[in-house]
Structure 1
Amino acid sequence: MVAGGLRGMSGNAVKMALMNAYNRFGERLCIVLEAALTVAKRNRVLKNGSPGDFDYKSLVEELNRRGYRYNPSQLLRILEREYGVLETTYHTESQHWYKFVDLEAVEEFINELRGLNSILEEPEIVALKVQIRSLGLKRWLDQLKKWSVKPRLTSADVRKFQEFAFRVLPKIVRILKRAEEFDEVMMAEIRILKEVLELAYIVSERIEEAIPTSKNIGNDIHQTIDVHTVSTSNLGNE
């Protein structure tokens, strides 16, 4: 089932609704919203064509990763039906996707509670996010995943990976180090950058298999000489 359009709530109305919800649910609300924001921002960075900002399964996985064993289904239902800050965008027997009515307003609300407004206003954070988006991480993630499971890497694969390793990877490392200084507000971006690094390392371990050994190179040289000798001999006979 695909849900209808989002409610027309302003950012201030969303924050007021969330404050009412916070007075009712306290820290539990912040924990769930922070996890949902992380999943939502990760999906936006990857541009994976998801039908909403986050889905129930990924939210539970993110909560578990943070050490919380909590079923957020009832809270999500209340946030949608009573407070209007979420809306279902896709729902089947196996999937339930949600969209924030105003993701930025939700993030501002959480950061106001956490006292992170001064960090969010840092121009460097904006610059880092722009640089991360310019790297095309979704394309590189897809390519690295293919290389990591490909039965045998070709010489073209090796050349392309070397180009990535020497031209793109150093930029990723520099940006990751800077992003970790703002881990409170760049958690999703940091996770994706680290995933790229992990996949790149896995692929690098396979590169040696794809590069010819010195013995093979020697054989190739002898084969070239033999072909040249035969060709010269044939010319003489002609």
Structure 2
Amino acid sequence: MVGNIRDRTTEFLLRFGDRGKTVVSIALMCEPTQLGDFSYKCVQEKIVERGYDFDPKMLLRSMEKDYGITETSYKSTNQHWWRFLDKNQVEEAISPEEEDPAVTVVKIQAESLDMPSAERKLSILMRKPKLSEIDKRIFRQFSFEELPLFVKIYNDAMQYEETQEIGERIKKIINMARAVAMKINEKESYNQGLLKKEREREDYNANSVRLSDLKDNI
């Protein structure tokens, strides 16, 4: 899950529209108890009171499982309660202040980079004991085509408090790429060392043969 609670709540609202906003707003209105901030029963009853006719179960599940906005605080055979992971950020997303366009651009660009895919790709390469030529070609393509974009977004993200988390995640990706590059360099250095030793051995043998021939001639 990318971004903070506010960002994820905004994504939830964009995806589910009016129904999503209704469920979140009602959940915020429910009276908190020791069991949690709101329950399925409370949300369902208030939906009916507002004249709507839909079951919020799927939306409540998505808030928890897909977007990490809430977590289950109590569950039994006839009750299900949740608590907000950060109620203030959820409230901000419901009634957002105007965001700096530069911050919005950084978030959009970060989403376009598909960081989970880059993390998976680099993680696989890091775990391999030996990189094939295909692996090296894939990494080379990533290094020249994608990595510079990550660096640019990293530099932009670290300028704003709202995108610090994005910057830190990109920094981890850059460090993962460095680890893969070091693995390639270590292997090549090792191979070059073996080649050098082999050449030295061949030179030594050749010199030995020449000395032997010289002694025989004497």
Structure with more relative contact order (C-alpha pairs < 8 Å, separation 6 or more): 1
The structure with the larger Rg is 2
